[in-house]
Amino acid sequence: EPEVTQTPSHQVTQMGQEVILRCVPISNHLYFYWYRQILGQKVEFLVSFYNNEISEKSEIFDDQFSVERPDGSNFTLKIRSTKLEDSAMYFCASRVRGGENYGYTFGSGTRLTVV
Amino acid sequence: GNSVTQMEGPVTLSEEAFLTINCTYTATGYPSLFWYVQYPGEGLQLLLKATKADDKGSNKGFEATYRKETTSFHLEKGSVQVSDSAVYFCALTANSGNTPLVFGKGTRLSVIA
């Protein structure tokens, strides 16, 4: 079964450093998402991406965050200057066009720890 | 806006007990409804879904029925197993354009032998 692949599975970074979280969505999917889950809390929407541009973003997704699909395969989330409160599990998801009824396919997540 | 409210956890049950996890929603239009499961240390997996009123989603012995009149999508299983221990998330998508999936806070289930 096709999978969404995320790397790395765990990243530790120092406060103020830049991090890039990587995702390879399912190949025929056209909509891409990033969500985060602070330990023990709800899964929160960050950003959605379609046709090479952001289609929606939450208030969490401030100027420190950016997304890119640099090569038609990878989908990346960059945090420019990490803060302690950015420590969370970050999930990438994708879906097909018109696939709202079918749910999203999520990756296994990247656990980001900011120290 | 769209939102999902789930019963607070944690829920602790003995093996073979009956499970209900309540979920209610607020949405404009006719959302699709989902249950996702997160096993310890893993990502989110789609457990079941329903796309219109009175639809019943089912998978691995779990069921949930889309009730428009009560705006609910309660998750049930007749006989839980230790391997069902996980966090369960109710979610919806509003079926309009690229509206993102909205999650409830999750309910942690622990099943003891």
pLDDT at A39: 85
Cα-based distances in Å from B20 to A12, A112, B50, B62, B75:
38, 33, 17, 10, 6
State the best of A3, A36, A42 to mutate against chain B, taking most chain B CBs within 10 Å. Answer: A42
Mean pLDDT of B5-10: 90
DSSP 8-state assignment for residue A100: G
Q: Is pLDDT at B49 greater than 70 in this prediction?
A: yes
pLDDT at A100: 62
DSSP 8-state assignment for residue B29: S
Rounded Cα distance, A35 and A114, in Å? 17
Please report how many Cα atoms fall inside a 13 Å half-sphere around the Cα of residue A30, on the Cβ side. 9
How large a percentage of chain A has pLDDT more than 90? Answer: 74
Report which of B75, B27, B21 is spatially closest to residue B50, judged by C-alpha positions. Answer: B75
Whether A103 and B49 lie within 8 Å, measured CB to CB:
yes
Rounded Cα distance, A13 and B52, in Å? 44
Q: Is pLDDT at A102 greater than 80 in this prediction?
A: no
Which pLDDT tens digit goes with each residue over A76-96? 999 999 999 999 999 999 988
Rounded Cα distance, B3 and A42, in Å? 12
Q: B55 CA to chain A: closest CA distance, Å?
A: 12
pLDDT at B100: 86
Compute the mean pLDDT over every residue in chain B, rounded to the nearest whole number: 93
Whether A107 and B101 lie within 8 Å, measured CB to CB:
no
Tokens of A110: 């990247």
Mean pLDDT of B28-46: 89
The strand order across the sheet containing B56-59 reads: B19-21, B75-77, B62-65, B56-59
Compute the mean pLDDT over every residue in chain A, rounded to the nearest whole number: 92
Q: Is pLDDT at B40 greater than 90 in this prediction?
A: no
Which pLDDT tens digit goes with each residue over A13-36? 999 999 999 999 998 888 999 999
pLDDT at A99: 62
| Secondary-structure percent of chain A, ordered helix, strand, coil, rounded to 5 | 5, 50, 45
Contacts of B98 in chain A (CB under 8 A): 31, 48, 50, 55-56
Residue A48 has its nearest CB partner, among B49, B95, B100, at B100
Between the two ends of chain A, the Cα-to-Cα distance in Å is: 36
